[in-house]
Structure 1
Amino acid sequence: MSKFQIILLSVFGAFILLAVLIFALYRGGAGSQNATIVVWGDIPSEAITPVLDSVVPTIDKTLVIRYVEKSSDKIDAEFTEALAQGNGPDLLILTQDRFLKNKSKLIFIPYDSIGRSDFQQAFAEEGELFLTDQGVYGLPLAIDPVILYYNRDLLSSAGEAKPISYWDELYPMTLKLTKKDAAGNLTQSAIALGETRNIPNFKEIMSLLLMQAGTPVTQIINGSLRSALSETFGLPVAPGDSALDFYTQFSNPAKAYYSWNRVLPSAETHFASGDSAYYLGFASELTSLRKKNPNLNLGLAPVPQSRVSGKKLTYGRLYVVSITRGARSAAPALRAVLLLSSKPVAEQLAKNLGLPPARRDLLSVRQTDAILPVFYESALQSKGWLDPENVTTRNIFQAMIDSVTSGRARTSEALGAASRSLGNLIK
């Protein structure tokens, strides 16, 4: 019997295999030293604080976890400053696109404590972005996948019984669902694609198109992170070229499938107003869409897929909890990380957030709700990429797209320039 299993059995008894990871090193309860752990994050405090106050004490009365909510645009700078001053948090909740910029400020959990295979069996695949040669840099909590929202009334009016499942189905739908006035101005759109300034999720949409085409955006080669944007992978044309061309064509007035332009309202507002048939957004946007228009006849589906790759995937925003270098004591911090990612805590936290959990045992539970099956399926299909600096890469993606839509560059040229910029950023 391994050390991993011995600790599990001595503390909690015989749990199912997927629970092994979470409780393997947990030493809560009798004999544990009282401790207060501070965790920072940008998720709403009203979602996590009730869990910390009600669920945590039922598992470990010796551990108090205090959550401090920070704004998304300031948390990384405040975290860096707090660590430098010696008053940083013990734990940090972050997403995969902020991992590398904060990696040097985090502490990994070695594999002799949490095995790689145990991690892979316990959590959705996107969590593997936090696995390194040294160990585990974060335990997954929840996933916010990009899904396809659609206007059921607009589809019914066009004689369509169901939403699109593949991207090539969007072409005839665009011809059916896009409408213009006498002056040629767009009055109804099939979908918001092709621009950046009024499509808030353009980077994530472009990322999922790239990954579906077979481009991982970045990849590790001989232990070093490299840009993969313009890689051909043995093909005549770089897959990224096709993905960029597909995205930008929908904002080109000269193309038959013109359906979007930069003078329209934001993509979310246009859809909520009933003027777009489809909208690519995060699962977390469901509440805001309903608030904007309670009368919107809204439907949800997984994002369309590529017929070529044969592999279903979407982009997901993965939330994990990590131990920081500011942790006062390693043992209580580890107890807290394991506790936060445990089944009872993760289940309630995901429910409060309105998101699918990251644990496979929770994702495998059959859902009767009309919405959750789409969320859960998309969570299991979620992928991401190692982002060296999420704000700068957003600017790189924006410049890449805008250079094509403005006519300043062809897709291959824009992709190459973006790849060089990404490569320079990594260096």
Structure 2
Amino acid sequence: MKKKNKKYLENKIIILFFAVFIALTLSGCGAPKETSYKVDLEIWGLFDDSDAFSKAIQEYKKRNSRVGAITYKKMPVDSYENDLRDALAIGKGPDIFLIHHTWLAKHLDKLEPAPLEMGTGNGEKAVFITPRKVQEYFADVVQKDFVNGSNVYALPLSVDSLALYYNKDILNQAGISRPPKTWEEFDSDVQKITKIDSFGNIILAGAAMGVSSDRPENLGGGKINRATDILTLLMMQAGTEMFDSERKMAKFSEFSSSDTGKDKFPGQMALEYYTKFSNLNSSQYTWNAQMHNSIDAFVEGKTAMTINYSWLIPRIQDKAPKLNFGIAPVPQNKDQNNKGINANFANYWGLAVSKSKIMATDEGQPATATNEQRITEAWRFLAYLTMGSEEISPFIGAASSEVAGYNPAEEYAEKQRKPAARRDLIEKQKEDLLLSPFAQGNLIARSWPEPDNLAVEKIFDEMIDDVVLRNEKSGEVIRQAQNSVNLLIKR
């Protein structure tokens, strides 16, 4: 009887042992975390050299054993979109790559959104990247450009918006104590500064405004760098609704809901305002199509003011290290009672993750990781770069004490001298003499869903040229431009 009881107890203990083992295995406790795979990541960029990310890559690999090599490739700008499209089509594209802020609708089928949840170090799942987080952490324009429904498709390291570059010496000599804050002040300053000789030649321009852009293919047009962006800014500040509520049709030649009773469309008024600076009969006449390129003219001291992005800073410093220039917030459309719309225009890029890729080794053998695991690791690293190590810490390994406070996005903004995309970093840049106008501009920056940014730029250039060079009526010209943009949308 005792032998039977002993045998019974032994069997019971064995059964209990296996039951506990199976329970622990299924729960993940006591088992090794998912480290059986390793993913190599390839990143495609455009404007930065590889050393811009070398420290971030080095520190990240210490904290995530699932990631092998992380390779950064600087791609040629001119062929980038075609190169990217071709590589993704055959499943051999990058894991992480730059997309222009206007490209989301055009390339949505190639992008994998960020996981809403992700596994943490303790085996549980937690909220990863959501539209609410993007709204909380980044400038508003990021949420509008890179969020579709409940999904986040890209995140930027930097956002760039327009600011006013001005020659301090020229403004001082004209008795102008500070750069203009409104377009009314801008008009007055342009009139004071502009010098025209007896033959009608512009000797000194008050500002680079009034004609089309300096695109290489725009041979017969003007020479204003980012002319179409300046015009778009003026439209937005005038209250123009660039597209309909469903973001499916352009409507910048029409009245907005708040414009009833006005004689002209706000978009038309903005076009007329911009082109008046190249109109011989205007008191603000200061530029024409025979002028030098706007950037060169500013560097050479032949124009007092120009509007552009932050990337122009190092070019000016390189070409004219002794030029006494300053940067101010772009003028706003405010009246004497300070009523009007605060707005800026953004032009920037975000990092996205490819939807699919052929997972194979260099020798053509199947990779140890699946496409789903690749996507997870790509987004994990992308979030580390853009959101910050503290925010992403639950989803990667613990940091050593020496790198616990390391912030890749902050380092990027400081070393590359670029305006920040994140609100906390924008706050820090407010004290930076050169970057603060752009950083603060990011807080009020807007954009619109251009169906093809390069094609829209060409349409807007033609709209300017139709008024300036062909003397066509602004109302008709802007309606033609709207129709052309809508044809792009329907393609």
> What TM-score range do you get, normalising by the shorter chain?
0.7 to 0.9
Q: State the structure with more CA Rg.
A: 2
| Match status 1:339 vs 2:402 | no
Q: 1:319 to 1:359 in 2, by over 3 A?
A: same
| Match status 1:69 vs 2:74 | yes
Return the offset for 1:205: 0.7
Return the offset for 1:277: 0.8
> CA separation in 2, counterparts of 1:240 and 1:367?
32
Write the deviation string for residues 81-117 of structure 1: whole angstroms up to 9, x where unpaired: 1112221111111221333332222122365653322
Moved more, 55-64 or 40-49: 55-64
Partner of 2:141: 126
Q: Secondary structure at the match of 1:142?
A: coil
> CA separation in 2, counterparts of 1:91 and 1:330?
9
Partner of 1:101: 106
Return the offset for 1:40: 1.1
| Match status 1:225 vs 2:270 | no
- Number of aligned pairs? 397
Q: Secondary structure at the match of 1:230?
A: coil
2:234 equivalent among 209, 223, 239:
209
Moved more, 395-404 or 321-330: 321-330
Q: Is the 8 A contact 1:96 1:387 kept in 2?
A: no
Name the amino acid aligned to 2:95.
Answer: D
Return the offset for 1:367: 4.7
Q: 1:149 to 1:388 in 2, by over 3 A?
A: same
| Match status 1:409 vs 2:472 | yes
Q: Is the 8 A contact 2:131 2:150 kept in 1?
A: no
Name the amino acid aligned to 1:124.
Answer: A
Consecutive unaligned residues of structure 2, counting only runs of 5 or more, are: 1-31, 118-127, 213-221, 358-370, 389-406
Q: Secondary structure at the match of 2:171?
A: helix
| Match status 1:186 vs 2:216 | no
1:381 equivalent among 444, 453, 475:
444
Q: 1:368 to 1:173 in 2, by over 3 A?
A: closer
Relative to the length of structure 2, the TM-score reads 0.77
Moved more, 382-391 or 245-254: 382-391
RCO higher in 1 or 2 (8 Å CA, sep ≥ 6)?
Answer: 1
Return the offset for 1:365: 2.6
Name the amino acid aligned to 1:67.
Answer: Y
What RMSD in Å do the two structures reach over aligned CA positions?
2.1
> CA separation in 2, counterparts of 1:362 and 1:34?
33
- Runs of 4 or more consecutive aligned structure 1 residues displaced over 4 Å after TM superposition: 29-33, 110-113
Q: Is the 8 A contact 1:100 1:387 kept in 2?
A: no
Q: 1:66 to 1:73 in 2, by over 3 A?
A: same
Moved more, 348-357 or 248-257: 348-357
Q: Is the 8 A contact 1:191 1:260 kept in 2?
A: yes
> CA separation in 1, counterparts of 2:295 and 2:265?
31
Return the offset for 1:286: 0.3
Identity of aligned residues (%): 29
Partner of 2:38: 34
Consecutive unaligned residues of structure 1, counting only runs of 5 or more, are: 1-28
Return the offset for 1:348: 1.5
Q: 1:231-246 maps to which residues of 2 (within 5 A)? A: 231-234=254-257, 235=259, 236=262, 237-246=264-273
> CA separation in 2, counterparts of 1:351 and 1:279?
25
Moved more, 187-196 or 57-66: 57-66
Q: 1:36 to 1:220 in 2, by over 3 A?
A: farther
> CA separation in 1, counterparts of 2:319 and 2:435?
21
| Match status 1:115 vs 2:130 | yes
1:390 equivalent among 453, 456, 472:
453
Q: Is the 8 A contact 1:192 1:260 kept in 2?
A: yes
> CA separation in 2, counterparts of 1:349 and 1:31?
31
Q: Secondary structure at the match of 1:83?
A: helix
| Match status 1:163 vs 2:186 | no
| Match status 1:153 vs 2:169 | yes
| Match status 1:275 vs 2:275 | no
Q: Is the 8 A contact 2:429 2:439 kept in 1?
A: no
Write the deviation string for residues 366-415 of structure 1: whole angstroms up to 9, x where unpaired: 65432232232122222211111011101110111111112442111111
Write the deviation string for residues 227-250 of structure 1: whole angstroms up to 9, x where unpaired: 021120142221101110110000
Write the deviation string for residues 191-240 of structure 1: whole angstroms up to 9, x where unpaired: 1111113012011111111111112423442xx51102112014222110
> CA separation in 2, counterparts of 1:252 and 1:374?
30
**Higher relative strand content:** 1
1:351 equivalent among 400, 414, 423:
414
> CA separation in 2, counterparts of 1:61 and 1:296?
50
Moved more, 250-259 or 369-378: 369-378
